[in-house]
Structure 1
Amino acid sequence: MSYTIEEKEGVLLFTLNRPERRNAINDELMEGFKEVIHYVHTHDTVRFLVITGSGEKAFCSGGDLAEFHSLVTEEQAFSMLSKMAEILYEWATLPIPTIALINGAAVGGGCEIATACDFRIIAREAKCGFIQGTLAITSGWGGATYLFERGLRHDRALKMLVDAQVYDSAQLEEVGFATKIYDGDKFVALDQFIEYMRKINPGVHRAYKEIEIRKWAEKNLKQRVMEEVAQCAKLWEADAHLEAVERFLAKSK
Structure 2
Amino acid sequence: MTFENLRIAIENKIAIIIINRPTKLNALNKQTIEELHEAFSALDADKEVKVILITGSGEKAFVAGADISEFAHFDVSQGGSLAAKGQEILFDFIENLGTPVIAAINGFALGGGLELAMACHFRIASDNAKMGLPEVSLGVIPGYGGTQRLPQLIGKGRAMELIMTAGMISAEEAKAYGLVNHVTSQEDLLPLAEKIASKMLRNSSVAIGAAIRAVNANFKEGVNGFETEISEFGNCFGTEDFKEGTTAFLEKRKADFPGA
Report the TM-score, using the length of structure 1 for normalisation.
0.80
SS of residue in 2 equivalent to 1:137: coil
Kindly indicate whether the alpha-carbon contact (under 8 Å) linking 1:108 and 1:131 is maintained by their aligned counterparts in 2: yes
Counterpart for residue 98 of structure 1: 101
Among 199, 202, 205, which residue is 2:205 paired with? 202
Structure 1 alignment gaps of length 5 or more: 221-253
Q: Which amino acid aligns with 2:85?
A: K
Tell me the residue number matched to 1:244. none
Matched residue, 1:163? 165
Q: CA deviation digits over 1:194-242, x for unaligned, max 9? A: 342222222221121121233344547xxxxxxxxxxxxxxxxxxxxxx
Distance 2:66 2:77 in 1: 17
The corresponding residue for 1:47 is: 50
Could you tell me which residue of structure 2 aligns to residue 179 of structure 1? 181
Q: Is the 8 A contact 1:148 1:154 kept in 2?
A: yes
2:132 match: 129
Q: Note closer, same or farther for the CA distance 1:188–1:61 as it changes in structure 2 (3 Å cut).
A: same
Distance 1:117 1:211 in 2: 15
Which secondary structure state, in structure 2, belongs to the residue aligned with residue 45 of structure 1? coil
Instruction: Write the distance in 1 (CA, Å) between the matches of 2:184 and 2:114.
Output: 18
- Cα distance in 1 for partners of 2:72, 2:202 equals 47
Deviation of the 1:185 alpha carbon: 3.1
Count the aligned residue pairs: 218
Q: Partner residue of 2:40?
A: 37
Question: For residues 145 and 219 of structure 1, what CA distance do their matches in structure 2 show?
Answer: 16
Q: Which runs of 5+ in 2 are unaligned?
A: 224-260
> Contact 2:54–2:103 (CA<8 Å) still a contact in 1?
yes
The match for 1:228 is: none
Residues 115 and 145 of structure 2 are in contact (CA less than 8 Å); yes or no, is this contact kept in structure 1?
A: yes
Residues 1-253 of structure 1: pairs in structure 2 closer than 5 A: 1-71=4-74, 73-87=75-89, 88-150=91-153, 152-183=154-185, 184-219=187-222
Residues 39-93 of structure 1 deviation map (CA, whole Å, 9 limit, x = unaligned): 134212221121110011111012111222232x101112222221112111111
Partner of 1:247: none
- Whether the 8 Å CA contact 1:15–1:54 is kept in 2: the answer is yes
Q: CA RMSD in A?
A: 1.7
**Cα 1:89–1:17 shift into 2, 3 Å:** same
Per the alignment, in what secondary structure is the counterpart of residue 218 of structure 2? helix
Asked if the contact 1:116/1:143 (under 8 Å) is kept, the reply is no
CA deviation profile, 1:177-208 (whole Å, cap 9, x unmatched): 11110112322121233342222222221121
Does structure 1 conserve the Cα–Cα contact (< 8 Å) formed by 2:151 and 2:159?
yes
* Conserved? CA contact 1:112–1:144, under 8 Å: no
Deviation at 1:127, TM superposition (A): 0.4
Contact kept in structure 1, 2:44 and 2:99, CA below 8 Å: no
| Corresponding residue of 2:238 | none
